[in-house]
Amino acid sequence: MLVVLFYTTRMPSIMASIDSWVLLIAIAIAIVAATINGVQGGAVVTGSVFCDQCKDGSISLFDYPLYGVKVGMACPGSDGQMTMVGEETTNVFGGYMMRFDGNPNLSSCNAQVLAPDQASTGCTAVAGPAKSLRLMFSMFGMEMYSVDALLPQPVQPMSFCPRSSSTPTLPPPLAFTPVPPLPPVPMAPVVPVLAPPPPPALKLPPLPPMPFFEASACSYRYWMMPEFRCYWKVVNPDMKVALIFGPLAARKYGTDMTLWGGLQGRGDPYRTLLREGTTALLNSYNSFQFPYTAFSVVERLNTALLGSPRTVLFTALRFRRANSGSPQVTCKFRACT
């Protein structure tokens, strides 16, 4: 089974699909476990975590799932104080699942991000509000709960986020006391009135740049430069190639190979394929107009690994052509601040 990453800002409907699949899988596991082992009490809690880059309190095109974030669940104790009863770390899709044995009462519990990891997620934030649990079903002594997406936020909204426009509130009209008419004033000689000069043209400020919607393609050399490290958002350099590209890649490159090590491959068709495939994956997350999606990059790399060395070389060259861009499509990186 291939481990495939989907960038949720490219396909917003996938965010809901991920939660639905996690819920369906958890339900299937619960039913099979109850059928095989008999009726046993237990509860499962599922949810997801996204970086709310625009601080609007909802999942939008600009948000992305957070990997490696700790989520805790707290329930009221006998004294009414909230007590931590469980903790889990999000997977590469931003999802998490907690399991509790016995017959716990989770109706008054809530889930919250404990400590967003600035180094691995790029979302420097406050943890965001806690979300309560919703009972989805109860069957065979098993209960399934879901939690709305937890939304950690950065300190300030990103520069490419749309700004909200608010209508100014006008003060109420003032009440005027009628003034008695003044006596007539003698007519003064008519003086020609010169038309005032036209007001200067209003110059609007330029719109902030929106990097994700710009056509951009950057070679592996750009992705290895320290001044552009902030563009590693969905994945980070220390993530394993086996986790991103799946079992075929693990068998070929080993389980210890990282994405950063993959960018340094050269001199061999298979190492060149990994280098250009990793670069293409990063470019697909960085630019909406990149020729390959994240899914197609993973699929093509694994298809090449199943073929001949000639297929491996041709696939690497196609990735390299896309990563090199064209005279109209260049690398739009700007030094991180």
Q: What does pTM read for this prediction?
A: 0.44
Neighbours of 313 (CB within 10 A): 15
Closest C-alpha among 321, 314, 315 to residue 298: 315
Average pLDDT in the 66-75 region? Answer: 86
Task: Write out pLDDT tens, residues 80-136.
Answer: 888 888 889 888 778 888 888 877 878 889 998 886 554 444 675 677 788 998 888
Task: Write out pLDDT tens, residues 244-267.
Answer: 999 999 999 999 999 999 999 888
> Could you give the CA distance from residue 86 to residue 328 in angstroms, rounded to a whole number?
52
Q: Which 3 state secondary structure label does DSSP give 206?
A: coil
Q: Which 3 state secondary structure label does DSSP give 97?
A: strand
Average pLDDT in the 284-313 region? Answer: 93
